[in-house]
């Protein structure tokens, strides 16, 4: 136990064990070998033990080698530039929770920059330094949101390493097929075998992989076993058809509308309604058109709404949910679902050849406006229709936040998602210029990083105004944190004027000026750090050479 | 470029940090922190102004050319040494010319450096003139040494008696007696001015609670303690070298009066061990030309980092003098001829069989030795049940890791670095197994610290 290696040439085997036994029991009870009993026995025992100890230690030899581990697979990616490798070590050394106190001070939050660093490094296609892998895996273990990017960056050696340490087992799970690679998709036999015999997760991964390359082949593969799959599996498989959805999927989806499971039916209907040319879309359009018409009895053109009086079997088959949630009228519930699933291109024809903008501007009779516009929003998101989204969003500077009354912030954020990055940024910039930052957090979240110049300027101006208004910076901590991560580092110089502690106006919150200066300092430091990070990753001198 | 030549790497700078918190705070201040008017001069000075929470920025100066390691001065109130500002500034400097351009120091930095260099100079001349006069009366010193030797002899005799009593009653009783017995004996050894004996006695107290196999370990340590006692009591009959070893093991003061060896000394490893009263820093050096290995020890009060800091991977042109004792590796750092700079030197390595043979050899000079420093060439970290070993890539033999090394995060850095391929590993090889301290990848690459 004590000696890790085996002593050789022991002249008197067992002599040491005899000494240990005698020592354990005491020389009064047991006379050590080769010693006279009596007063001198303990000293003789110690002499012999000292000799034996040194002899045993001097005689240590290496043990037999255990089977060597399989060598880790090669990582073909180029090594990180050395400055970037050091930055990574620094980001990984910064663990949350170890910093004292709750106040953040002027130092940047390094852990928050790790996702951006990983994304950039993955984008440039670098391999990590091997010795950084344990810290990288530990970081990914603690934060699930980091895992995909961290594991992509960590590469094949991390999977090799994770097999040796149970703490990192998650890395094996996260790799498709539990570390076993997918078969070559060209090999029809292997694909068939995995599809027939694989575990559920493996089959989903296989189907998604094929769907991404050859949408038709994936659907056909699914069709071969569709009838024998369990309901919850059917739902997941059907969901993977979302990628590469096209008109050629319609017959299969139509057939799924008659599925035994209600969830499968609903998903099939949803997918079909996203295909404007589908028969389901046409059926929905016919139903919706029956409910919405121009009301000619009014003086100005007005939209009149007559919600459906019943939910018939045909509607149910097309995915309309008959039972309204508590607190909602049945008829408006059905009406919303019909409009949502109707191709938006139906409406100009139905409503006198008007453009989406004109249609959205039309008054609606009997308080139906909220219901109708909300359904159009959902349709615009589902059909990814930028023109309608633009019309529904309206001007960002309109008094009730631009959009029609019923449009919530969450819906606006979704509508923005259908627009191009530049247009999105511009709309949010306009919104912030008018309405300030208090409502902007969710909208900022859908904007492309780094923020476009007009958006960045709008956020900085709004922060400046908030400071001058005398509130505390932590009322804006969410936006501040986003700004640290998303503002273009090139904007850092524009912030210089904000770093000084301003004179306190009389009505300001006490000490706020100092805290703002601190917050802006942190913002600037973080931006500089991000600029340095990106620059380091763009150098092309690899480390370790 | 300049005489100071290559700048340090960030890792080497961070190795100077007194604790984890400073390390973190320093690395945050490094990257694009609120620095202004930073610069560095050829003779090894770095300075800068750091904006803190106050209105006046802190003034930070570092003298990296000093023979006894870097010296720091900062106007911040921190009692950490070096403070986070000094670390941050060094990190900034390590990044390159961009943030810390070469220049001439401002007045406030210049003053401090001048004052410092002057004091060092004065001290050196004072030392040179003072060494001849010695510390007072040699006759008095001899009497003091004699008195101390008598006390140690009394202590060793008493300890022998206690060991004999223990063995007479049996070690099984030691488990029940607990820690108190040993604490009291250790205190007696402190009174006898034999700190080496006291430390060994204190360690004995921990063995009965150290898990299975403790009787064997307790007997071994008791026997070695007995051997040390006997060595002291019979020191007149020992060869000179061994007598010196006994003296140093007992804990008597000695001075590093070996002949100074000038070499390019590569820093192989630096690590701290702490107990209640003291932080001990060990720094292993490898002489690139002489092939010698030397150990520098440096101490700090509990919770504070020892002052001497030599980052791994740097090499320094310096003189090193050994302490007395046969096979003694401990040495003192003498004059430094150039500031430490990164070097690509790697120590030559041996096989696992040669490593154990080296330990056996070393026991001849110092039977109390727990381990020897060894560099292993081409070994593969290999899992062995619950444990790990370093297996020769080209032979069927392996050295198991010590239980302590298995629990450290450095193990995983070593395994990751190797990836199943052979690596070069420097560490301590002894009767408990092998403790890896530093590793180099098979191909090109910097030294990776494992401790």
- Which DSSP category does A419 fall into? S
In a domain, residue A474? The reply is no
Residue finishing a domain among A245, A275, A305: A275
In a domain, residue A133? The reply is yes
- Residue A9 pLDDT class (50, 70, 90 cuts): very low
Q: What angle do CA A503, A509, A514 make, to 5 degrees?
A: 50
CA–CA separation, B10 and A82 (whole Å): 10
Lowest-pLDDT range of A134-138, A238-242, B320-324: A238-242
Residue finishing a domain among A240, A255, A275: A275
Task: Let me know whether A328 and A401 are in one domain.
Answer: yes
CA distances for B191 relative to A223, B150, B155, B186, B252, angstroms = 89, 12, 8, 9, 13
Among the partner residues B160, B385, B416, nearest to A131 by beta-carbon distance: B416
Q: Select the residue from B31, B245, B385, B435 to test the A interface by mutation, using most A Cβ atoms within 10 A.
A: B31
Task: Let me know whether A280 and A415 are in one domain.
Answer: yes
| Tens-place pLDDT, residues A347-386 | 887 887 888 878 887 878 877 888 888 888 888 888 888 8
- Residue A177 pLDDT class (50, 70, 90 cuts): very low
SS (H, E, C) chain B: CCCCCCCCCHHHHHCCCCCHHHHHHHHHHHCCCCEEEEEEECCCEEEEEECCCCCCCEEEEEECCCCCCCEEEECCCCCCCCCHHHHHHHHHHHHCCCCCCECCCCHHHHHHHHHHHHHHHHHHHHHHHHHHHCCCCHHHHHHHHHHHHHHHHHHHHHHHHHHHHHHHHCCHHHHHHCHHHHHHHHHHHHHCCCHHHHHHHHHHHHHHHCCCCHHHHHHHHHHHHHHHHHHHHCHHHCCHHHHHHHHHHHCCCCCCCCCCEEEEEEEEEEEEEECCCEEEEEEEEEECCCCCEEEEEEEEECCCCCCCCCCCCEEEEEEEEECCCCCCCEEEEEEECCCCEECCCCCCCECHHHHHHHHHHHHHHCCCCCEEEEEEEEEEEEEECCEEEEEECCCCEEEEECHHHHCCCHHHHHHHHHCCCCEEEEEEEECCEEEEEEEECCCCCCCEECC
pLDDT beyond 60 at A5 = no
Among the partner residues B363, B400, B413, nearest to A54 by beta-carbon distance: B363
In a domain, residue A428? The reply is no
SS3 A312: coil
User: Taking the CB of residue B147, how many other CB atoms lie within 10 A of it?
Assistant: 11
Q: Would you state the pLDDT for residue A104?
A: 57
Among the partner residues B167, B216, B412, nearest to A26 by beta-carbon distance: B167
Task: Let me know whether A411 and A281 are in one domain.
Answer: yes
pLDDT in tens for each of the 451 residues of chain B? 333 456 677 777 777 777 777 777 777 777 656 777 888 887 778 888 887 766 778 888 888 776 566 788 888 887 777 888 888 888 888 776 667 778 888 888 888 888 887 887 777 776 666 544 455 678 888 898 899 999 999 999 999 999 998 898 888 877 777 677 788 899 999 999 999 999 999 988 888 888 888 899 999 999 999 999 999 999 999 999 999 999 999 999 888 888 999 999 999 999 988 877 788 899 999 999 999 999 999 888 776 677 788 888 889 899 999 998 888 899 998 888 887 888 888 999 999 999 999 999 999 999 999 999 999 999 999 999 889 999 999 999 999 999 888 888 899 999 999 999 999 999 999 999 999 999 999 888 888 988 8
In a domain, residue A213? The reply is yes
CB–CB contact B213 A63 (8 Å): no
CB–CB contact A28 B170 (8 Å): yes
ipTM score of complex: 0.80
In a domain, residue A433? The reply is no
Residues from chain A contacting residue B213 (CB–CB below 8 Å): 1-2
CA–CA separation, B56 and B50 (whole Å): 9
Per the prediction, chain A carries an average pLDDT of: 80
Q: Does A58 touch chain B (CB under 8 A)?
A: yes
Q: Would you state the pLDDT for residue A103?
A: 52
227-246 in chain B: CB under 8 A from chain A: 227
Chain A: closest CA distance from residue B156 (Å): 14
Task: Let me know whether A285 and A414 are in one domain.
Answer: yes
Chain A: closest CA distance from residue B308 (Å): 24
CA–CA separation, A91 and A255 (whole Å): 52
Task: Let me know whether A315 and A381 are in one domain.
Answer: yes
Chain A: closest CA distance from residue B444 (Å): 6
Residues of chain A with pLDDT > 90, as a percent, come to 7
CA–CA separation, B295 and B332 (whole Å): 8
- Which DSSP category does A151 fall into? H
Q: Does A98 touch chain B (CB under 8 A)?
A: yes
Residues from chain A contacting residue B359 (CB–CB below 8 Å): 57-58, 60
CB–CB contact A63 B389 (8 Å): yes
Beta-carbon contacts below 8 Å between A and B: 227
336-375 in chain A: CB under 8 A from chain B: none
In a domain, residue A114? The reply is yes
Residues from chain A contacting residue B353 (CB–CB below 8 Å): 61-62
Output B263 or A312, whichever has higher pLDDT.
B263
CA–CA separation, B359 and B142 (whole Å): 36
Domain count for chain A: 4
How far apart are the two ends of chain B, measured CA to CA in Å?
Answer: 33
Quick one: CA dihedral A443, A449, A455, A460, positive or negative?
positive
Residue finishing a domain among A247, A275, A303: A275
Q: Contact at 8 Å (CB) between A543 and A82?
A: yes
Q: What letters, b where the CB count within 10 A reaches 16 and e where it falls short, cover A294-326? A: ebeeeeeeebbbebbeebeeebeebbbbeebee
Task: Let me know whether A170 and A235 are in one domain.
Answer: no
Chain A: closest CA distance from residue B426 (Å): 16
In a domain, residue A456? The reply is no
Q: Would you state the pLDDT for residue B265?
A: 94
CB–CB contact A2 B216 (8 Å): yes
Task: Let me know whether A368 and A255 are in one domain.
Answer: no
Q: Which domains does chain B have, with CATH numbers?
A: 10-129 (no CATH), 139-250 (no CATH), 261-342 (2.40.50), 352-449 (2.40.50)
Task: Let me know whether A307 and A368 are in one domain.
Answer: yes
| Residue B160: closest C-alpha in chain A | A43
CA–CA separation, B284 and B269 (whole Å): 5
Residues from chain B contacting residue A98 (CB–CB below 8 Å): 20-21, 24
Task: Let me know whether A320 and A394 are in one domain.
Answer: yes
Residues from chain B contacting residue A130 (CB–CB below 8 Å): 416-417, 419, 441
Q: What angle do CA B228, B225, B282 make, to 5 degrees?
A: 85
CA–CA separation, A115 and A533 (whole Å): 12
What's the token pair of residue B160? 């022998």
Task: Let me know whether A296 and A411 are in one domain.
Answer: yes
Task: Let me know whether A324 and A213 are in one domain.
Answer: no
In a domain, residue A138? The reply is yes
pLDDT beyond 80 at A470 = no
- Which range of residues forms the domain containing residue A217? 188-275
pLDDT beyond 90 at A326 = no
Place of tokens 């739902």: A235
| Tens-place pLDDT, residues A398-436 | 765 544 455 677 788 888 877 878 888 888 888 888 877
Q: Would you state the pLDDT for residue B32?
A: 56
Half-sphere exposure of A16 (CA within 13 A, CB side): 20
Q: Would you state the pLDDT for residue B216?
A: 92
CA–CA separation, A471 and A510 (whole Å): 9
Task: Let me know whether A146 and A203 are in one domain.
Answer: no
Q: Does A68 touch chain B (CB under 8 A)?
A: yes
Among the partner residues A24, A87, A90, nearest to B170 by beta-carbon distance: A24
Q: Does A63 touch chain B (CB under 8 A)?
A: yes
Q: Would you state the pLDDT for residue B98?
A: 67
Q: Would you state the pLDDT for residue A65?
A: 92
CB–CB contact B400 A4 (8 Å): yes
């Amino acid at each position: 136990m004590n000696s890790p290696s085996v002593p050789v040439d022991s002249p008197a085997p067992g002599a040491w064990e005899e000494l240990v036994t005698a020592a354990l029991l005491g020389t009064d009870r047991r006379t050590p070998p080769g010693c006279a009993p009596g007063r001198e026995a303990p000293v003789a025992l110690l002499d012999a033990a000292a000799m034996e100890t040194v002899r045993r230690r001097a005689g240590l030899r290496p043990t037999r080698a255990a089977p060597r581990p399989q060598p880790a697979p090669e990582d073909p990616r180029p090594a990180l530039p050395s400055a970037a490798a050091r930055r990574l070590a620094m980001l990984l050394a910064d663990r949350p929770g170890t910093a004292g106190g709750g106040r953040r001070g002027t130092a940047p939050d390094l852990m928050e920059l790790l996702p951006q660093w990983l994304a950039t490094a993955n984008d440039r296609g670098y391999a990590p330094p091997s010795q950084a892998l344990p810290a990288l895996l530990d970081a990914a273990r603690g934060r699930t949101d980091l895992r995909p990017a961290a594991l992509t960056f960590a590469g094949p050696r991390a999977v090799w390493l994770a097999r040796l340490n149970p703490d990192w087992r998650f890395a094996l799970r996260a790799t498709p097929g539990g570390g076993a690679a997918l078969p070559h998709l060209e090999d029809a036999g292997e694909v068939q075998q995995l599809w027939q015999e694989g575990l559920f997760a493996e089959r989903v991964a296989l189907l998604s992989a094929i769907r991404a390359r050859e949408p038709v082949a994936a659907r056909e593969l699914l069709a071969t076993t569709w009838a024998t799959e369990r309901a919850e599996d059917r739902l997941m498989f059907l969901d993977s058809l979302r990628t590469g959805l096209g008109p050629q999927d319609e017959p299969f989806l139509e057939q799924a509308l008659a599925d035994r499971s209600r969830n499968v039916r609903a998903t099939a209907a949803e997918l079909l309604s996203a295909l404007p040319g589908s028969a389901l879309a046409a059926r929905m359009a016919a139903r919706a058109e029956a409910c919405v018409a121009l009301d000619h009895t009014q003086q100005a053109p007005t939209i009149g709404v007559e919600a459906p009086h019943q939910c018939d079997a045909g509607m149910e088959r097309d995915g309309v949910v008959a039972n309204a949630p508590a607190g909602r009228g049945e008829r408006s519930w059905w009406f919303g679902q019909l409009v949502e699933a109707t191709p938006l291109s139906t409406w100009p024809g139905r409503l006198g050849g008007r453009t989406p903008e004109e249609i959205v501007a039309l008054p609606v009779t009997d308080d139906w406006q909220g219901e109708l516009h909300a359904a159009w929003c959902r349709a615009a998101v589902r059909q990814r229709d930028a023109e309608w989204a633009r019309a529904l969003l309206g001007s960002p500077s309109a008094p009730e936040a631009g959009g029609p009354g019923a449009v919530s912030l969450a819906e606006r954020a979704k509508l923005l998602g259908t627009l191009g990055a530049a247009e999105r940024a511009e709309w949010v910039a306009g919104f912030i210029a008018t309405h300030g930052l208090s409502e902007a957090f969710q909208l900022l979240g859908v904007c492309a990083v780094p923020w476009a110049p007009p958006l960045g300027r709008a956020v900085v101006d709004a922060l400046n105004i908030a400071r001058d208004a005398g509130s505390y910076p932590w009322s804006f901590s969410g936006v501040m944190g986003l700004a640290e991560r998303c503002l273009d580092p090139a904007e850092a110089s524009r912030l210089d004027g904000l770093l000084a502690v301003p004179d306190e106006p009389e009505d300001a919150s006490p000490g706020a000026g100092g805290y703002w200066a601190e917050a802006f300092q942190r913002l600037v430091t973080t931006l500089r750090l991000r600029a340095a990070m990106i620059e380091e990753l763009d150098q092309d001198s690899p480390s370790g050479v | 470029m300049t005489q100071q030549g290559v700048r340090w790497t960030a890792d080497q700078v961070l190795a100077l940090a007194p604790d984890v918190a400073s390390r973190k705070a320093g690395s945050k201040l490094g990257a694009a922190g609120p620095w202004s008017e930073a610069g560095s001069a050829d003779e090894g000075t770095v300075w800068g102004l750091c904006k803190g929470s106050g209105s006046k920025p802190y003034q930070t100066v570092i003298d990296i050319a000093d023979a006894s390691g870097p010296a720091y001065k900062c106007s911040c109130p921190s009692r950490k040494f070096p403070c986070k500002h000094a670390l941050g500034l060094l990190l900034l400097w390590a990044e390159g010319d961009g943030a810390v351009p070469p220049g001439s120091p401002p007045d406030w930095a210049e003053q401090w450096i001048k004052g410092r260099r002057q004091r060092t100079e004065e001290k050196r001349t004072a030392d040179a003139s003072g060494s001849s006069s010695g510390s007072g009366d040699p006759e008095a010193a001899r009497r003091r040494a004699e008195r101390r030797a008598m006390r140690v002899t009394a202590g060793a005799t008493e300890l022998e008696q206690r060991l004999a009593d223990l063995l007479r009653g049996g070690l099984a009783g030691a488990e029940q007696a607990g820690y108190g017995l040993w604490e009291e004996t250790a205190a007696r050894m402190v009174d006898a001015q034999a700190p080496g004996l006291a430390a060994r006695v204190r360690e004995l107290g921990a063995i009965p609670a150290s898990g299975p196999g403790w009787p064997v370990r307790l007997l071994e340590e008791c026997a070695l303690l007995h051997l040390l006692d006997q060595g002291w009591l019979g020191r007149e009959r020992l060869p000179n070298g061994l007598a010196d070893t006994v003296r140093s093991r007992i804990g008597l003061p000695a001075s590093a009066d070996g002949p100074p060896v000038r070499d390019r000394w590569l820093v192989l490893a630096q690590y701290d061990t702490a107990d209640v009263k003291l932080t001990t820093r060990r720094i292993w050096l490898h002489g690139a030309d002489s092939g010698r290995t030397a150990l520098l020890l440096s101490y700090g009060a509990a919770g504070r980092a020892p002052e001497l800091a030599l980052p791994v991977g740097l090499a320094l042109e310096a003189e090193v003098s050994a302490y007395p004792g046969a096979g003694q590796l401990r040495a003192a750092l003498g004059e430094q001829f150039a500031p430490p700079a990164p070097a690509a030197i790697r120590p030559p390595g041996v096989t696992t069989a040669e490593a154990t043979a080296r330990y056996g050899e070393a026991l001849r000079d110092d039977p109390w030795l727990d381990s020897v420093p060894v560099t292993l060439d081409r070994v593969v970290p290999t899992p062995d049940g619950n444990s790990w070993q370093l297996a020769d890539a080209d032979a069927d033999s392996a050295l198991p890791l010590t239980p302590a090394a298995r629990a450290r995060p450095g193990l995983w850095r070593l395994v990751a670095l190797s990836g199943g391929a052979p690596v070069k590993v420097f560490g301590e090889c002894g009767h408990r197994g092998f403790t890896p301290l530093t590793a180099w990848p098979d191909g090109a690459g910097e030294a990776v610290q494992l401790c």
